[in-house]
Amino acid sequence: MTKNDNNSQHRYWLQRCIDLAEQQSRTPGGGPFAALVVHAGELVAEGVNQVTGSNDPTAHAEVVAIRNACAQRNDFQLAGCVLYSSCEPCPMCLGAIYWARPDAVYYAATHAQAAKAGFDDSFIYEQIPLPGPERSIPFHPVALDSAEAPFDAWLANGERRDY
């Protein structure tokens, strides 16, 4: 495959994301975002934003696409897959992508473009490096002697399945 072919393939899948996102922006319970997971040139699963419709603040397009693709593949990893998104992923979706481990991510709209429509993720990106207690939602550590007990039990579990 030439570089141009590759580029037109990425544009093809991203345009499908954009079309789905546009449709979802008119659907009750939706938001203007969509994502796809593709493996070896074939669609594995799609996902659209369902935050308000499903009362699930984690139901961003990328998270939904990852869940659907993993269910489809019967695996909790997306090795060999590419994730396409109509928009640059937020920190939650970035984290989900790192846990699902696809090979690469391609996206169309940037954060700056999303911000114009009222979706400003940069606030969350700015919160991450702050010390926990100084965040707008404070994250407080509480030292407990028992804090490592779950990890000790995990390491002692000979049948554990690492992930």
Q: Name the minimum Å distance from CB 82 to a copy of itself.
A: 10
**Rounded to whole angstroms, how far apart are CA atoms 158 and 145?**
24
**Rounded to whole angstroms, how far apart are CA atoms 63 and 103?**
16
- Burial (CB < 10 A; 0-12, 13-18, 19+), residue 83, is buried
Catalytic residues: 62
Asked if 95 contacts 47 with a C-beta cutoff of 8 angstroms, the reply is: no
- Residues in 109-148 that interact with a copy of itself by CB under 8 A: 109-110, 113-114, 116-119, 123-125, 127-129, 132, 137-144, 146-148
Q: Of residues 36, 46, 47, 86, which one binds a copy of itself by CB under 8 A?
A: 86
Q: Of residues 58, 79, 80, 122, which one binds a copy of itself by CB under 8 A?
A: 58
- Residues in 14-53 that interact with a copy of itself by CB under 8 A: 14-15, 18, 21-22, 24-26, 28-29, 31-34, 51-52
Interaction between residue 55 and a copy of itself (CB under 8 A):
yes
Residue 86 dihedral angles phi and psi, to the nearest 5°: -65, -15
Q: Name the minimum Å distance from CB 2 to a copy of itself.
A: 17
**Angle, CA of 41, 42 and 46, to the nearest 5°:** 120
CA dist list (Å): 146 to 42, 143, 153, 157? 48, 9, 12, 18
Q: Of residues 16, 43, 94, 120, which one binds a copy of itself by CB under 8 A?
A: 94
Q: Name the minimum Å distance from CB 42 to a copy of itself.
A: 19
Q: Name the minimum Å distance from CB 33 to a copy of itself.
A: 7
